[in-house]
Amino acid sequence: MGELAKRMGIKATDLIRALMKLGVMATINHPLDFDTATLLATDFGYEIENVALDVDEILEAEPDAPESLLKRPPVVTIMGHVDHGKTSLLDAIREANVIAGEAGGITQHIGAYDVELNGRKITFLDTPGHEAFTAMRARGAKVTDIVILVVAADDGVMPQTREAVNHSKAAGVPIIVAINKIDKPEASPGKVKQELMEFGLVSEEWGGETIFVEVSAKKRINLESLLEMVLLQADVLELKANPDKPARGTIVEAKLDKGRGPVATVLVQEGTLKSGDYFVAGVHYGRVRAMQNDRGDKVLAAGPAMPVEVIGFNGVPDAGDIFVAMGDEKQAKEIANHRQMKLRETELAKHSKLSLEQLYEKIQKGEVKDLNTIVKGDVQGSVEAVAESLRKLTTDAIRLNVLHASVGAITETDVNLASASNAIILGFNVRPEVKAAALAEKEGVDVRLYNIIYDAVDDIKKAMEGLLEPTFKEKYLGRAEIREVFSVPKAGMVAGSYVTDGKIVRNAQVRLLRDNMVVYEGKLGSLRRFKDDVKEVATGYECGMSLENYNDLKIGDIFECFEMEKVAGKL
Ligand code: GDP
C-alpha cells in the first residue's frame, strides 16, 4: 500500500482514510489485492494495471526452433533404501572421475556434480533421498531425466526401494537398476531381479526392458558400465536443449553462507548462464557475481545440464525454485517483489482466515487452543528438523502450527506474519534484522533465539504443559558496527567500531554477527574510547572493542550487546 501511495503521489494517511471508507482497516505495510487497489486508485483518478499477468507472460519460455536444439547431458538422481549404498556410489563415481580427470582435485558439496565418460558428460544430483526429489517435483520442477535405483544384493527389495520405484514412476522418469555390493559373498543379484519383476522392472536378459548393472561401490566394480548405460538411456530419451538463449533452470540447493551471503546451486536446463546476468528465482532476484563448479573452479558460462554454484542473490531461494535469467535488473526486481507481495498476501490471508475459524472453534469447544510458530534458521536441515519436531508436539489440547519455515535472518515480513496470526518466532543461529527487531518490539511479537534445537522444542513443550520455569530472557542493549580492524600486541585483534543503536556496556554479554548470523558469543575483552577504558559507549560514538578469546573480527561485522533478565515462565 505504501508503494501505491508513493506511485500516486499521495500521502499514505489519505490512502488509509480512503480504505477505511471502504470498510478496510489497514496499516501502511498492508498488501492490497488487485480489486481493492483498483477501487482506491479510481478514487484518486488513476488506473491500475495488473502486473501479475505480465509477470507470467515475461517468464513463460518461448518454444525453441527445432534446429536450435542441441544434445545435452542427462541429469541423474540416485535413489534406494537406506544403507544400500547411495552415498557410497555417488562418492565412488565422483572420485573415480576426479582422479582420472585432474590431479588432486578438491571437491566440494554443492548439491550436484558432473562427470565425464568418453568425452560425454553426466550430471548427478547428489542429494540422495526421495524427499529432495519429491519436494522439487511438488514445486513443479522437473530436473531428473534418469533415476538410478540402488538395491543391495545382500538385502533385496526394501520399503524405500518400493517408494523409490513409485516416486520415479509418478514422475515418469526411467529407472536403471544398480545392484550394489556384489563383492559380498552373500550377494544374490538374481534374487533382486526376481523381486523387482513385481514392479514391472524386468531385466533385458529375461526379456524385459529395464537395464540392470551389477556394481560394487566399495570395490569400484562396473562403475564405468553403469555410466555407459546411463548414456545409452540418455540417447534413447533424445535429451536436447537450446544453449543459445538466456538461461532457465532450477535451484538445487541454497544456503546462507557466513562469508559470502546467500549462495545457491543452479542446475541450468536451457540456455546459458553467464557471469553478470540478472535473474529471478522464486521471490528473490539478483545478478550473477561469481559462479563455480563442484571442483571449486571459476565458471564464466554454464550451459544446459550444468550445475553451478552462484553468488549474487538478494536472499536465500528454496530448492526447487525456478531460476530465470533476464535482460535487466529493474524487471527482475519488480517480478521478485511482486511475488514476495503475493506470497505475503496469501500467507496473511490464509492465516487471518484460519485464526478466525479457530476463534470460532475455540468458543465452540471452549478448550482447543492453537500455538502458531514461525521457524527461521541458518541451514535448511535444522529448519526442517525443528518444524518437524514442533508439529509432533500437537496434542489433543493444543494444536501446533508451523506457519512458515525458511532459511535466513528474521525479517519484517516474518514479524508481520507473526503479528497477524499471533505466532511466536523461533530463530536458530540467526538474528532479527534491526528493523525486524524494532517491529517485533512494537507489535509485541515474541521472538525466541536458540542455538540448540532441543532447547527450543523443550521450551515449547514445557509451555504447553504449563511447566515453563522462570527463565532468563535476553534484554537487548545495543549494537556497534566494525569499521576497522587492527592487531594490537598482547590484546590481539581490536575492532574500531561505531555504535549504531542503543549502547555497548563493558560487562554485558556480546555476540558477533556476520550477515545476521551468530559467529561468536561471549564477553568483551576490552571497551575503550581513545586510550581510556570505559564502562559504556552510547549511540553515535566510536570505540575500540575486542572479544575475549576470539580474534576473527571483520569489517562490517556487528557486535550485539545484551544482558540476561530473569522473567516468569511464559510463552
Ligand atoms: P546409503 O544410506 O544408501 O547412502 O548407503 P551408504 O552409501 O551410506 O552405505 C551403507 C553401507 O554399505 C556403508 O557401510 C558402506 O560402506 C556399505 N557399502 C556401500 N557400497 C558397498 C559395496 O559395494 N560393497 C560393500 N561390501 N559394502 C558397501
| Per-residue pLDDT reduced to its tens digit, 200-219 | 999 988 889 999 999 999 99
pTM above 0.75, yes or no: no
Mean pLDDT of 186-212: 92
pLDDT of 318 reads 85
Band (268; pLDDT cuts 50, 70, 90): very high
DSSP string across 321-389: -EEEEES-HHHHHHHHHHHHHHHHHHHHHHHHHHHHHHHHHHHHHS--EEEEEEEEESSHHHHHHHHHH
Distance from residue 85's CA to the centre of ligand 1 (Å): 4
217 lines ligand 1 (CB under 6 A): yes
Query: Any known ligand binding at 130?
Result: yes
Mean pLDDT of 403-413: 84
Tell me the per-residue pLDDT of 348-386, one tens digit each, with 9 for 90 and over: 544 433 332 333 343 344 444 677 888 998 888 888 888
Q: Please state the atom number of ligand 1 nearest to the C-alpha of residue 92.
A: 20
- Cα(113)–Cα(307) distance, rounded to whole angstroms? 6
Q: Is the pLDDT of residue 306 over 90?
A: yes
User: Whose C-alpha lies nearest to ligand 1, atom 22?
Assistant: 181
Q: Please state the atom number of ligand 1 nearest to the C-alpha of residue 82.
A: 2
Tell me the per-residue pLDDT of 36-52, one tens digit each, with 9 for 90 and over: 666 666 666 665 555 44
- Cα(227)–Cα(115) distance, rounded to whole angstroms? 9
- Hey, which of 88, 93, 216 would you mutate to test ligand 1's pocket, going by the most ligand atoms within 8 Å of its Cβ? 88
Q: Are 107 and 94 in contact (CB under 8 A)?
A: yes
Domains of the chain with bracketed CATH: 2-52 (no CATH), 73-239 (3.40.50.300), 248-349 (2.40.30.10), 356-469 (3.40.50.10050), 474-567 (2.40.30.10)
Q: Please state the atom number of ligand 1 nearest to the C-alpha of residue 219.
A: 23
Joined grid coordinates for residue 452: 540448540
pLDDT of 249 reads 94
What does each C-alpha distance from 172 to 137, 146, 166, 537 come to in angstroms? 11, 9, 10, 64
188 lines ligand 1 (CB under 6 A): no
